[in-house]
């Protein structure tokens, strides 16, 4: 009986998110991995708040494990973050549906998506990309408003992909250039490969 219970536990255990996150080499030459203080676990962390507070995403309560790390390169203005999350059965699919719903109904006025920020206006544009997993959601995200008296007008990219009960989000940041878009789509393609293989490919330095 103990052996049977052990076998059930192994089968039921979620995938190792650390093995599915991008390696620095997958992001680009000379990029290093940076740990985030909020990068481990699901307690008191947020995965989804695209055009809405995390409370408007019921799938947040279905998360099991989570890892989010950043990737930076000296003298480069382009950076990336990769978040890999496992869910209870059906949770990742629900998360993707919720993202689609928020994108489709995103208000044109400024809204609050994070209690640490004032109301901001979000303009979301759906994008297409090659070699991504079926059902992917790729977004150009323009954020406009005022933060601590300073005008904000930033463009970033987010690509969400799912395989089974695992969701991977790749988020780029940097100047509003074609280079950032290409950078973001390349990372998303590499993340798709990791989800297909069930592991990350390549290697690279960690900071």
Structure tokens at 176: 């509003």
pLDDT in tens, 82-123: 999 999 999 999 999 999 999 999 999 999 998 888 999 999
pTM: 0.90
Give SS3 for 179: helix
- How far apart, in whole angstroms, are the C-alpha atoms of residue 91 and residue 101? 15
Domains and CATH numbers, the chain: 14-197 (3.40.1000.70)
Show the DSSP H helices in the chain as ranges. Answer: 2-12, 17-20, 24-27, 91-104, 178-197
Structure tokens at 95: 């998360």
Q: Does the pLDDT at position 204 exceed 50? A: no
- pLDDT value, residue 202: 57
Contact of 158 with 169, CB cutoff 8 Å? yes
Structure tokens at 163: 């395989």
pLDDT band at 12 (very low <50, low <70, confident <90, very high): low
């Amino acid at each position: 009986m103990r052996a049977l219970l052990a076998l059930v536990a192994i089968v039921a255990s979620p995938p190792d998110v650390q093995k599915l996150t991008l390696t620095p080499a997958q992001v680009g030459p000379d990029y290093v991995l940076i740990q985030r203080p909020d990068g481990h676990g699901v307690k008191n962390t947020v995965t989804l708040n695209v055009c809405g507070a995390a409370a408007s995403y019921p799938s947040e309560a279905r998360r099991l494990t989570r890892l989010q790390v950043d990737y930076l390169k000296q003298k480069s203005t382009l950076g990336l973050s990769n978040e890999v999350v496992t869910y209870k059965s059906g949770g990742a699919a629900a998360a993707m549906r919720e993202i689609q719903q928020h994108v489709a109904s995103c208000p044109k006025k400024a809204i609050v998506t994070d209690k640490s920020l004032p109301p901001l206006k979000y303009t979301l544009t759906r994008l297409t990309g090659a070699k991504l997993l079926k059902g992917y959601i790729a977004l150009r995200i323009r954020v406009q408003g005022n933060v601590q008296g300073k005008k904000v007008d930033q463009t970033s990219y987010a690509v969400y992909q799912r395989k089974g009960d695992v969701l991977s989000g790749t988020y780029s940041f940097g100047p509003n250039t074609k280079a950032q878009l290409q950078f973001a789509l390349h990372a998303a393609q590499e993340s798709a490969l990791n989800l297909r293989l069930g592991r990350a490919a390549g290697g690279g330095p960690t900071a």
